[in-house]
Amino acid sequence: MRYAIVTDTYTPDLNGVALTLQAYVAGLRARGHAVEVIRPHPPGGLASESDAGPVRVRGLRLPRYPTLRVGLPVQARLQVAWRAQRPDAVYVATETLLGGSAIRAARTLGIPVVTALHTRFDLYMADYGLRALAPLALAWMRRFHGGADATVVATQALAAWLQAQRIGHAVVLPRAVDCTQFDPARRDPALRASWGIPPDGLAVIHVGRLAAEKNLPLAIHAFRLLQQQRPDARMVLVGDGPLRETLARAHPDLVFVGARRGEALGRHFASADLFLFPSRSETFGNVVLEAMASGVPQVAFDLGAASEHLVDGLHGARVADDAHGDAAFVAAALRLAQNDADREAMARAGRRAMQRLTPAQVAAELDALLAAPRARAASVPVRQADRHAHRAA
């Protein structure tokens, strides 16, 4: 089979969407399929020539995100390329002008199309002070995904939300985590020492973009309170983004290590003792699985990956996303910081849970979806997602 993946972000970009797609491409190629990746060329060139699609796409830089580029529409050029070498299915990963042009090109040629919902743009509007634009974001999402045979989501809660909003035809495709990259065995005492952590100290970590939608002030507030009880605690922020300089100036004692990937990211995760994940805008949140696989208990809201995989009290703390959520998040962070024995038990349980999620199984499910997207979309039971609907609302 020949598949085309259309996206505005891909390796060497460092974000959840890019890393998820990289795993999808590797998994499909391992199953013997030809996969072309159509994406804007980054300033430094592609990471691999095998990731070059049949069409060179120009991109525009995003304000406040200079490392990311949004592709320009290339419908006519895609139609020419796909007539010459027709893909069996097209997977459109990002809801932009490039993705929209790919949907139209595939529809013109009668090629099955699968879209993915990786980002709740309606929630992002509120995070950036543009709440009034949320209805426009929803209208765009409804129109975009309405042109596809199926829309991939990572959780049952998000599938229910899509159905309630009349957006696309949801199919739940679980995420996996690489338990060789994210492994408690990668814990590194020398790395902890470089953070200023004493041998029995507490390393509190956050991994992700340093941006408004990540709700970082709540994580820092929780850390400041637990620091009063545990003076040996240090907070480490792994990632980069538009808020890094502002946060570093306001909190010079926090450890900012920048973006990390591969084995280095695995070492940073495994060398921590507690992961604080305060985001309320995630459609999934791969870092939840990565922390569990690394044996790091966490505090997260009852959304996305945490809703599906994090058992409260067994793997960490899962906090209700309601009017009392901030206070509950802080209380959970203080509770876990004080109880070393509970964290050790949670670390073992989280690791065991993640060893059941294999990338090969996810690749097989994606392969089946791309081979027959309409049939898979029609088979999703509405009532199965309904019980989670309140979590995505």
Contact 284, 155 (CB under 8 A): yes
Gap between the Cα atoms of 154 and 176, Å rounded: 10
Angle (deg, nearest 10), helices 75-84 and 97-109: 40
> Can you give the pLDDT at residue 125?
65
SS3 360: helix
Q: Are strands 150-153 and 316-319 parallel, antiparallel or unpaired?
A: unpaired
Q: Which of the four pLDDT bands, split at 50, 70 and 90, describes residue 388?
A: very low
Average the pLDDT over each of 167-176, 193-202, 295-304, 309-318 and give the range with the smallest value: 167-176
Question: Tokens at residue 340, please?
Answer: 């070393």
CATH of domain 184-354: 3.40.50.2000
Gap between the Cα atoms of 184 and 187, Å rounded: 6
Gap between the Cα atoms of 343 and 126, Å rounded: 34
- Better pLDDT: 257 or 47: 257
Contact 86, 2 (CB under 8 A): yes
Burial tier of 37 (Cβ tally within 10 Å: 0-12, 13-18, 19+): buried
Q: Which of the four pLDDT bands, split at 50, 70 and 90, describes residue 227?
A: very high
If you average pLDDT over residues 57-80, what whole number do you get?
80
Question: Tokens at residue 36, please?
Answer: 């072309």
Q: Assess whether pLDDT exceeds 50 at residue 393.
A: no
Can you give the pTM of this predicted structure? 0.76
Question: Tokens at residue 191, please?
Answer: 């790395």
12-43: pLDDT as tens digits: 887 878 888 999 999 999 999 999 999 987 65
The single-letter code of the amino acid at 241 is G
- Pure H helices in 311-339: 325-338
Q: What angle do CA 100, 101, 104 make, to 5 degrees?
A: 90
Q: Do domains 2-176+359-392 and 184-354 have the same CATH topology?
A: yes
The dihedral sign for the CA sequence 164, 168, 173, 176: negative
> Can you give the pLDDT at residue 383?
39
Q: Assess whether pLDDT exceeds 50 at residue 382.
A: no
> Can you give the pLDDT at residue 42?
65
**Of 97, 60, 62, which Cα lies nearest the Cα of 241?**
62
Q: Assess whether pLDDT exceeds 50 at residue 220.
A: yes
Q: Which residues of 276-309 are buried (b: 16+ CB within 10 A; e: fewer)?
A: bbbbbbbbbbbbbbbbbbbbbbbbbbbbbbbbbb
Gap between the Cα atoms of 276 and 299, Å rounded: 5
- Better pLDDT: 239 or 122: 239
Question: Tokens at residue 151, please?
Answer: 């829309």
SS3 114: strand
Report the topology of domain 2-176+359-392. Rossmann fold (3.40.50)
Contact 348, 354 (CB under 8 A): no
Q: Assess whether pLDDT exceeds 60 at residue 196.
A: yes
70-83: pLDDT as tens digits: 888 999 999 999 99
161-183: pLDDT as tens digits: 888 888 878 999 988 899 999 99
> Can you give the pLDDT at residue 230?
96
What's the residue count for the chain?
A: 393
339-379: pLDDT as tens digits: 999 999 999 999 999 998 888 989 999 999 999 887 766 66
89-145: pLDDT as tens digits: 999 999 889 999 999 999 999 999 999 987 776 666 666 667 777 788 888 888 999
The dihedral sign for the CA sequence 13, 14, 18, 19: positive
> Can you give the pLDDT at residue 47?
53
